[in-house]
A and B are shown apart, each in its own frame.
Chain A
Amino acid sequence: MLFVVVILVLQTKITAQNTERDKATVSGYVKDKETGETLIGANVFLKENKKGAVTNNYGFFSITSEKGNYTLVVSYLGYKNYEMSLDLSKNQTVNLELETSAITTEEIVITDERSDDNTQSTKMGQIELKIEEIKKVPALFGEIDVLKTIQLLPGVKGSGEGNSGFYVRGGGPDQNLILLDNAVVYNAAHLFGFFSVFNSDAIKNVNLIKGGMPANYGGRLSSVLDISMKEGNMKKFSGDGGIGLISTRLTFHGPIKKEKASFLISGRRTYIDLLLLPFSGEGSPLNGNSYYFYDLNAKINWQITPKDRIFVSGYYGQDIFSFKSPSSDLRIDIPWGNGIATMRYIHTFGNRLFMSTTFAFTDYQFQTKANTGDIGFNLFSGIRDYSAKMDWDWVPSSKHNIKFGADYTFHEFTPSTATAQFDSTIIEPGTRQKILAHDFALYVLDEWDITPWLKVNAGLRFSYFQHTGPFKRFVKDQDGFNTDTIEYGTLANIADYARLEPRLSIRFRINENISIKAAFTQNYQNLHLANLATVSLPTDIWLPSTSIIRPQLARQYSLGYFHNFLNNMLETSVEIYYKEMYGLVEYKDNSSFAQIVADNPDNILAFGNGRSWGAEFFFKKRLGKITGWIGYTLSWTQRYGFNKEEINYDGDFFYPRYDRRHDLSLTVSWDIDKKKKWNVAAVFVFSSGNVLAVPTRFYFVGNTIVPQFDDRDNFRMQPYHRMDLSVTYQLHKNSKWSSNLNLSIYNVYSRLNPFFVYFDIETDENTNTIKFQGKQVSLFPIIPALTWNFSF
């Protein structure tokens, strides 16, 4: 692997040197003029020869071109275009500050010549959303939610009514890598998935990669959701906040030292518990029940020198749920939460080499405590990651952009430890058994402009994963009884997997506005999450690859047609894909958490394969009074190759719950007047119903009525559709203070969408008959919510 890197680097160095004398490089950062916040994904280019770059996650760009006089142009959605004359006779650094455009963006369209990233780049299956775009979308309870907005994009499906969980191109929820400032977020949801952990006020940018994953990302099969937190205002003290139906949020940010260092602190708390307080007195069924969650985001950003910068950021959030049965002495407490901390250091060497180093810590914990009288039950699970990462971004010539880096994570899993207490007897089956693993990766990629019409992004990722001791393996006989245990010592190599992941995407440019792209990716995944239930829960347990669980593998082939119209005002694309997946994990049928007691959790898993294929249509209007997009996906997802003794299904394959034939979403935002006092936004979604296993027969065994399931996917629930509306009215807007009122109406026509279906025995006491009845539970009818947002 290292050899490959060296060869590649040397080769480009030689070709670069040949023409070096005639060329010069301009590099720098693009920032917001008002706040000093760096801008991600801004287009920077030389007007004369259209050579350009897109700013990276830190707002950095580097352009190399023939020496000469140029006009440097920067364009970024929502900002005025920036132009400056540039004498490119030698290498130089510039820092560019863009002004927000107060007027409707229509006038700017004419000069916005280089917003053709859609057709120019090799990016496939990648969509970037700015938090301003996300904030325009109507939201459930008025809670702006990053994860629910990305569900409106083609190829991304929501996991259920009001849920922030998502499935990408037929992959499970565990196949999405969610990063917050470069740290992994394992459970990105509050309240059993209804709200995501990302507070919109603390977030700057969201980038989703669902196909054509470049080699600098890895570890998951299906997607990357890369979320960047705001850095904080470098120029003046300011704040944002909102008071909503179920929560309040408040953010402060400002300079610690003007233009040098800034901070951001942001908090959010729900108050469902406080609203219910008057109704939960003694004797009320709500007595003793409580639920709330809170989030805290903080970040410090220090520009040490023009070339050095340090970021320290953190997230902490917790859900607190307690339940007391009104009819018995049953009491349940379920606390869970995430803690994330990262430290990043970025440095630029000259004008062409950019480096970032990240140290990250992630902690996710989940606990269930249940008590009734003498009997108690306590379940704990958690993950802790310590990681270090180094990424290099090198622009050796105008034709190459090379990225390479290394990544190491030490994982500490506590899959599930249950203790049970009966009377005075406490069953504690051994100590909390941890599973430890080393996770290492190296990558290199080159984005290469071979000719003006052909651009290639070729990369290779090498991953090495090792399950390490101490560990106790329970050896089973065929009936599942422990016959022996094997003890592994500290640092023992219990199982290891070294894998290569080639990635390739190619862009053929047909003309200014049209391009065709193709991509192949091979990904391995060493962290696995099986869902015990048919819904995702915080109880779902992450497990690493072990001697029993082998790495999951996905190969994805995709082909796309990209066409921009009207000076890049309209972006359209059609992508088709085929994805094959191997080594997917499911719990064996009839599994329960209790089985993990005194056992290795991987012993109750079943393994099989999957495939998914489909076509995604995307139409986006970027600019103008009316903006928005339409996404439609036609897709198939199947699972096959499981041991039918462990996973019961009929035929050669089954459709898992990730399968939705049709998925349509429409998002529109309309700035009614020129001064943007009024904005109306609407969302419409339609998707095919979820598959469900429904019993086909019932019979009696003793006094029990037994349902017989023949298949896993013999019924599809009704289709899901819904329309949301929102109206925002700007109350004040000046440089010191602005505020708006937002009315969000979720499910405008009150469609009763299926949340889940269950079966109930209906008995008739007069005739002594029994009959099973299917019952569909729907969660949200029409829900209006008013939120007051402010910033200063």
Chain B
Amino acid sequence: MKKFKIYGLNLFVVLIFISGLFISCERNIDINLPEPEPMLVVDGFIDHGDYARVTISRSFPYFEEINLTDISSLQQIFVANASVFLSDGVITDSLVFTIDPTSFPPVYYKGTNPALIGQAGKTYYLTIYAEGDTITSYTTIPPLIYLDSIYWKPDPQAPYKGFGWGHLTDPDTMGNIYRLFTKRQGYPYYVAAGALSDKNFNGTSTAFSFSRPDPLPFYIPNNLPEDTARFYFVKGDTISVKFCTIDYRSYEFIRTYTSAASSFGNPFSAPTFIKSNVNGAFGGFVGYGATYYQYVVPQ
């Protein structure tokens, strides 16, 4: 999964090198665009073995400043008065608004009916009524596929740190798609580390590495202690991994929104266009065939 990052990174590095090689200059510019209509955004998922969770939020004009801790702006970001229904085609359940400060986003609608706990192989339908809009989506949790193992390998130059590694034997059928989440001890929730289809390694046994993602949507170096091991796991860490299978529509959504999020106008990246699997709003609804792993990096 690391493979994909390296290439994007290297062109950006080249760009920085060129800018440095010549005498370049950077300055802030104002970009005035017509104010867009705010749109609703669905960020929903259902794990195998867990209740569905759906966050509904609003989009903001791209150059608007927002506050992430202020209650009034949180109220502006998140929608609390929606009606959210989940169905497996037989049973329908209404999801309940929940506030959970240990999670990000800290608010979501959560399932309560044990009959609608996610099950691999089943398709789930989502219907939302919010602010006069009707939003629909569906997703399928694919069959579970287990990792052979997870482990850690020291960086040859700095052996106190290293990437996490996994070993996977991909089944013979083409079209399996995986998404990996990880966290280190002390963090309350899993953070996504990448999504990958088996297009290039169908039916093979493969080792892959994963880095430790930043836990927050933005990174404020001044607020955190000096972190020389950013992106790495260090000796003594407990690496937790949530390894998931996802369906193709979910993958297209994840692939396109993560690519958009990492481009930031980087002129070396391709234009991005997010392929939502939701009708009537931005965002996505993803079913995860989730399995869990843990590895303690020896001291």
Contacts and interface: CB of A to CB of B under 8 A. Distances in A.
Q: Do A and B bind each other?
A: yes
A533 interface: yes
Contacts of A482: 174, 199, 202
A589 B14 contact: no
Given A598-B199, A774-B28, A708 B218 contact: no
A712 B272 CA distance: 10
B41 A699 contact: yes
B129 interface: no
Nearest to B157: A329
A675 to B, nearest CB: 37
B90 interface: no
Contact of B17 (A289, A699, A757): A289
Best-surrounded residue of A372, A477, A481, A693 (most CB of chain B within 10 A): A481
B217 A420 contact: no
Interface string A765-786: 1011111111111111101000
A380 interface: no
Interface string A596-637: 011100000000000000000000000000000000000000
Given A422-B209, A701-B257, A702-B104, 6 more contacts: A377-B6, A427-B201, A703-B216, A704-B257, A706-B261, A752-B25
A200 B61 CA distance: 50
A78 B217 CA distance: 66
B41 A700 contact: yes
Band of interface residues on A: 35 or more
Contact of B104 (A323, A703, A769): A703
A334 B63 contact: no
A694 B215 CA distance: 27
A709 B272 contact: yes
Contact of A537 (B58, B163, B215, B268): B268
B255 interface: yes
Contact of A374 (B57, B61, B153, B273): B153
A706 B248 contact: no
Contacts of B209: 374-375, 422-423
B243 to A, nearest CB: 17
A690 to B, nearest CB: 10
B11 interface: yes
A111 interface: no
A590 B199 contact: no
Interface residues of B, number: 99
Nearest to A375: B2
A192 B10 contact: no
Interface in B1-36: 2-4, 6-11, 13-14, 17-19, 21-31, 33, 36
A767 B67 contact: yes
Given A425-B207, A698-B62, A757 B22 contact: no
Interface of A: 162, 191-192, 272, 289, 291, 321, 323, 325, 329-330, 332, 334, 368, 370, 372-375, 377, 379, 420, 422-425, 427, 429, 477, 479-483, 532-535, 537, 539, 587, 589-594, 597-599, 647-648, 692-710, 712, 714-715, 718, 752, 755-761, 763, 765, 767-781, 783
Interface of B: 2-4, 6-11, 13-14, 17-19, 21-31, 33, 36, 38-39, 41, 43, 55, 57-70, 77, 104-105, 153, 155-157, 163, 165, 174-175, 191-192, 197, 199-202, 206-209, 215-218, 220, 222-223, 248, 255-261, 263-275, 282-284
A377 B267 contact: no
A427 B58 CA distance: 42
A590 B26 contact: no
A701 B43 contact: yes
B17 A323 contact: yes
Best-surrounded residue of B31, B175, B202 (most CB of chain A within 10 A): B31
Contacts of B207: 422-425
A702 B264 contact: no
B63 A772 contact: yes
A427 B28 CA distance: 42
A701 B271 contact: no
Contacts of B57: 699-700
Contact of A323 (B14, B77, B222, B267): B14
A765 B222 contact: yes
Contacts of A770: 65-66, 68, 218
Contacts of A774: 28-31, 63, 265
A334 B14 contact: yes
20 contacts: A375-B6, A423-B209, A427-B3, A479-B175, A481-B174, A482-B174, A587-B270, A598-B200, A599-B199, A694-B62, A694-B265, A699-B57, A702-B104, A703-B216, A704-B261, A709-B271, A709-B273, A778-B24, A780-B22, A781-B25
Contacts of B22: 162, 779-780
B134 to A, nearest CB: 19
B31 A696 contact: no
B268 A592 contact: no
A698 B59 contact: yes
A708 B57 CA distance: 14
B33 to A, nearest CB: 6
A482 B203 CA distance: 13
Best-surrounded residue of B38, B197, B272 (most CB of chain A within 10 A): B272
Given A370-B6, A592-B7, A774-B63, A763 B220 contact: yes
